[in-house]
Amino acid sequence: MRVEILGYTPNPEIVCALGAQTSYKEEDPSLRLEKMTIEKARKTLKRVMSYGHVSVIEHANFNILFEGVSSIFHQFLIEHRLASYTIRSKRYVDFSNIKQVVPEFFEDKPKLKKKYKELMDLLLSTYRTIVQKGIRVEEARFVLPYCMEDNIVCTMNARELLHLLYACLYGHGKKYPEIFKIGNKLWKQLKEISPIIFDNILIIEKGKDEKEKQLRKLVTKINKKTSDKKVQLLYYTENADDKVARIALMKHSQSEIDDLLKKNKEKIIEIVTNNRRARELENVSFTFKINGLSLGTLTHLTRHRIHNLVTPYFTEYDLNKEFLIPKGIKNDEEMYKLVKDVIKKWREYIKFFKQNDIPENTLPYLYLQGNVIDVITTMDARELYHFFNLRCCERAHWEIREIAINLLKRVRKVAPLIFKKAGPSCYYWGYCIEGDVKPESCNIVEIKKRFSAM
Ligand SMILES: Cc1cc2nc3c(=O)[nH]c(=O)nc-3n(C[C@H](O)[C@H](O)[C@H](O)COP(=O)(O)OP(=O)(O)OC[C@H]3O[C@@H](n4cnc5c(N)ncnc54)[C@H](O)[C@@H]3O)c2cc1C
């Protein structure tokens, strides 16, 4: 595992202190910059941060490489939304020769470690067999475990980094030795760059962290039976069409709104949804429950940053539920049988490890990308437009595409005018924006027909 700061804002403390002083000094920042020293900058930052005005440290950005980290860490990391990520894709890269992270628990237990290795060999050889059969890696990946090594390039500002460090060292990441270790490696490097910002995690990160424990105490019956529906629209802004049109008009006039709405609602919403800065759409939101989402696709959903995703903790994923076997495998009788057999064996391994007291911080490393969970998310209509643009597209992975289309059908029922133009980018823009990666099978005329008739 490698954790390395690749680059960062030059003179981060000076830049942040200059930012802080800009709010209360009359003198122009360019003049103050000439007189600024590192000592003065640290003094200013210390004082301003002690008031709880931490936004000033968002001016310092860090580019970080996480290499050879598990998918557990990967998922934990990308749940931090105020950041940018690029990740080695399991849809495009063949993982046949990629290694796995070995959880610390196995290190001094040779017998269990051997069994773990055995399971890894079984899963990897199954993956290779599927790939060699000519099935796409994006389908084969469903049998990959959550401990496969991932590579991530991440950019985060100092404030979000403090949240991340807190989560790694004191929060829900702490119980995973890998995450704790990564947090420490990162912390050490960051403190060398800026002790004044990064030495004070606990002063800045205030508040209780007991929510899940307290909630779990209240629950007497754990009933994990979920709906058969893949997507449920739980809550939404009522009369969203009306609200968006009304808000759009309010910017221009406080009178005549009712009259204008009666005659022009459709036109007003068309004007808004055709505009690149459709901020009015952010005023209406939709809460969904997505049932039986594979862990492999959870990462695709989590990568969208402008929504409020609530997922169960790794330790609460329910492994008894169905395993998602992709169509690409189901369509091949031999591979379908192979995968079903492997899942059966995998369940036996899980049973064995549980009988041998595998701790709850280690079990998730054995989860498979095809294991499923239920999640809840709330998106506003503007983010939904973007989500549909990307995820209803033929280039998106089929599982998230099916979810996106399902979501679109639901929201079109309750806000038909707002979502009339929502769909893949070709439907919205009138042409494909994917350029030379547009799938050959993609028939834009057909797609446009399908989405207008939906
Ligand atoms: C077909 C396909 C293939 C993909 N392949 C890969 C891959 O191989 N590897 C990989 O790592 N990812 C991949 N992704 C994920 C992709 O890179 C995005 O991370 C993901 O789709 C989220 O979309 P987004 O970043 O456009 O917007 P969101 O995160 O949904 O945010 C919405 C909008 O808000 C703005 N925004 C949000 N955060 C920021 C920010 N920090 N700075 C500036 N603007 C911001 C942007 O305008 C953005 O479009 C793929 C996605 C698709 C659809």
**pLDDT band, residue 15 (cuts 50/70/90):** very high
| DSSP conformation letters of 5-19 | EEEE-SSHHHHHHHH
Query: Residues 179-202: what's their mean pLDDT?
Result: 96
Query: Residues 398-407: what's their mean pLDDT?
Result: 97
Tell me, in angstroms, the distance from the centre of ligand 1 to residue 433's CA.
15
Tell me, in angstroms, the distance from the centre of ligand 1 to residue 387's CA.
9
- To test the pocket of ligand 1, the residue of 153, 305, 308, 426 to mutate (highest count of ligand atoms within 8 Å of its CB) is 305
**pLDDT band, residue 231 (cuts 50/70/90):** very high
| pLDDT confidence of residue 224 | 63
What is the atom index within ligand 1 of the atom nearest the CA of 387?
A: 30
Q: Residue 256: pLDDT above 80?
A: no
Q: For tokens 């084969």, what's the residue?
A: 140
Torsion of Cα atoms, 365 then 369 then 372 then 378, to 10° = 100
Tell me, in angstroms, the distance from the centre of ligand 1 to residue 400's CA.
14
Using the Cα atoms of residue 289, residue 290, residue 292 and residue 296 in order, give the sign of their dihedral: negative
Residue with CA nearest ligand 1 atom 9: 87
- Quick one: what percent of the chain has pLDDT higher than 90? 81
Q: Of 136-150, 209-223, 245-259, which gets the smallest average pLDDT?
A: 209-223
What is the atom index within ligand 1 of the atom nearest the CA of 397?
A: 1
Q: Residue 390: CB partners within 8 Å, gap ≥ 6? A: 396, 425
Return the SS3 of 68.
Answer: strand
In 3D space, the residue among 365, 336, 369, 322 whose CA is nearest the CA of residue 119 turns out to be 365
Helix (H) or strand (E) holding 240: helix 240-250
- To test the pocket of ligand 1, the residue of 75, 297, 306 to mutate (highest count of ligand atoms within 8 Å of its CB) is 306
**Per-residue pLDDT tens for 414-428?**
999 999 999 999 999
Q: Residue 32: pLDDT above 70?
A: yes
Cα-Cα end-to-end distance for the chain:
47
Helix (H) or strand (E) holding 379: strand 372-380
CA distance linking residue 442 with residue 447, whole number of Å: 8
What is the atom index within ligand 1 of the atom nearest the CA of 89?
A: 8
Query: Residues 326-337: what's their mean pLDDT?
Result: 96
**Per-residue pLDDT tens for 103-129?**
999 999 999 999 999 999 999 999 999
Residue with CA nearest ligand 1 atom 6: 89
Tell me, in angstroms, the distance from the centre of ligand 1 to residue 86's CA.
9
Q: Of 54-58, 75-79, 316-320, 417-421, which gets the smallest average pLDDT?
A: 316-320
Query: Residues 16-22: what's their mean pLDDT?
Result: 96
Tell me, in angstroms, the distance from the centre of ligand 1 to residue 152's CA.
14
> Within 6 Å (CB) of ligand 1, which residues are found?
84-87, 89, 92, 303-306, 383, 386, 390, 395-396
- Round the average pLDDT of the chain to a whole number and report it: 94
Query: Residues 246-261: what's their mean pLDDT?
Result: 85
| pLDDT confidence of residue 42 | 95
Domains of the chain, each with CATH number or no CATH: 2-84+149-215 (3.30.1360.170), 104-147+325-367 (no CATH), 231-312+373-452 (3.30.1360.170)
Q: Residue 395: pLDDT above 90?
A: yes
Q: Of 75-84, 203-212, 360-369, which gets the smallest average pLDDT?
A: 203-212
Q: Residue 70: pLDDT above 70?
A: yes
| pLDDT confidence of residue 223 | 63
Using the Cα atoms of residue 297, residue 299, residue 305 and residue 309 in order, give the sign of their dihedral: positive
What is the atom index within ligand 1 of the atom nearest the CA of 305?
A: 29
- Quick one: what percent of the chain has pLDDT higher than 70? 98
pTM confidence score? 0.94
